[in-house]
Amino acid sequence: KNQVEQSPQSLIILEGKNCTLQCNYTVSPFSNLRWYKQDTGRGPVSLTIMTFSENTKSNGRYTATLDADTKQSSLHITASQLSDSASYICVVSLSSASKIIFGSGTRLSIRP
Amino acid sequence: NAGVTQTPKFQVLKTGQSMTLQCAQDMNHNSMYWYRQDPGMGLRLIYYSASEGTTDKGEVPNGYNVSRLNKREFSLRLESAAPSQTSVYFCASSELPSRDEQYFGPGTRLTVT
């Protein structure tokens, strides 16, 4: 069964600290993996996209990694800011059909 | 560009009532989607339209109907609302189906009592 699992479910860190969010998937055949940021009360917004051949992709303080062999991805946030408080959603696309699988997200709270 | 717009932002319905959620995009995208988001669960696809004139069922289509009115607009209709349809509904669009980045609207929070 195609699944995307994220951990932890929620995370609280102090402003200025780093954190890493995890995404494991069993989707096959794999096309690409995106990380979305969803602020409270708003729709998700894409942060990064990685295809099978890419190991890492950065977007400012956000760095995503992909290990296609172990089917794991991580999103690393450096020097967190209060505005990073949001849900982060891992989304995997299949290459064989018009289908994408959403993870349930990690809710990140940054405390001053 | 407004991106993806949705109306209404909030709605309360009684069981059995009907309503239509409206969605429009101004990015000339071919594909449009309707999702629902429930606490502790990922976004689940209700229906999608890969291109103007086509619609297909997603993961949770029961109790819903859709209309791709033109390239810009994609509406979601609840014919007889049930409490299980209480959720936040998101419309999204992308240039091409599935693998492209999806652009989401702000959502509609629906409560069915």
The pLDDT of residue B4 is above 70: yes
Residue pLDDT, tens place only, B57-108 = 998 999 999 999 899 999 999 999 999 999 999 999 998 876 688 999 999 9
What integer pLDDT is reported at residue A47 of this predicted model? 94
Better-predicted residue by pLDDT, A95 or B43: B43
Q: What's the rounded Cα separation, in Å, for the pair B50 and B69? A: 13
Q: Which chain B residue has its CA at the smallest distance from A102's CA?
A: B42
Q: What's the rounded Cα separation, in Å, for the pair B102 and B94? A: 5
Chain center to CA of B92: 7
Task: Please check whether residue A13 touches B, CB under 8 A.
Answer: no
pLDDT-based confidence at B24, cuts 50/70/90? very high
CA-based nearest residue to A13, from A69, A70, A82, A68: A82
Residue pLDDT, tens place only, A14-51 = 999 999 999 999 988 888 999 999 999 899 999 999 98
Residue pLDDT, tens place only, A53-92 = 889 999 999 999 999 899 999 999 999 999 999 999 999 9
Residue pLDDT, tens place only, B28-46 = 999 999 999 998 778 999 9
Tally C-beta pairs within 8 A across A and B: 51
Among left, alpha and beta (phi > 0; psi -120 to 50; other), residue A83 is alpha
Task: Please check whether residue A90 touches B, CB under 8 A.
Answer: no
Residue pLDDT, tens place only, B52-62 = 999 999 989 99
Q: Which chain A residue has its CA at the smallest distance from B96's CA?
A: A98
What integer pLDDT is reported at residue A39 of this predicted model? 95
CA-based nearest residue to A47, from A100, A97, A5, A86: A86
Q: What's the rounded Cα separation, in Å, for the pair A8 and B18? A: 38
The pLDDT of residue A97 is above 70: no
